Amino acid sequence: MATYKLQINGRSYEVDVEPDTPLLWVLRDNLGLVGTKYGCGIAQCGACTVHVNGNAMRSCVYPVSAAASAKITTIEGLSEAGDHPVQLAWDEVDVAQCGYCQAGQIMTATALLNKNQKPTAEEIDNAMNGNICRCGTYHRIREAVALAAT
Ligand code: FES
Pocket of ligand 1 (CB under 6 A): 38-41, 43-48, 58, 60
Residue 110 pLDDT > 90: yes
CATH number of the domain that residue 108 is part of: 1.10.150.120
Strand (E) or helix (H) holding 142: helix 138-148
Same domain, 68 and 97: no
What CA–CA distance (Å, rounded) separates 66 from 121? 33
What's the gap in Å between 134 CA and the centre of ligand 1? Answer: 13
Asked if 37 and 90 sit in the same domain, the reply is: no
Supply the DSSP symbol for 8.
E
55-107 pLDDT, tens digit per residue, is: 999 999 999 999 998 999 999 999 989 999 999 999 999 999 999 999 999 99
Residue 51 domain boundaries:
2-77
**Nearest CA owner, ligand 1 atom 4:** 43
Residues pairing with 4 in the sheet: 15
**Contact of 37 with 101, CB cutoff 8 Å:** yes
Cα 145 to middle of ligand 1, angstroms: 21
Which atom of ligand 1 lies at the shortest distance from residue 46's CA?
A: 4
Number of domains in the chain: 2
- 1-36 pLDDT, tens digit each: 999 999 999 999 999 999 999 999 999 999 999 999
Assess whether 61 and 32 both reside in one domain: yes
Q: Does residue 45 have a pLDDT over 90?
A: yes
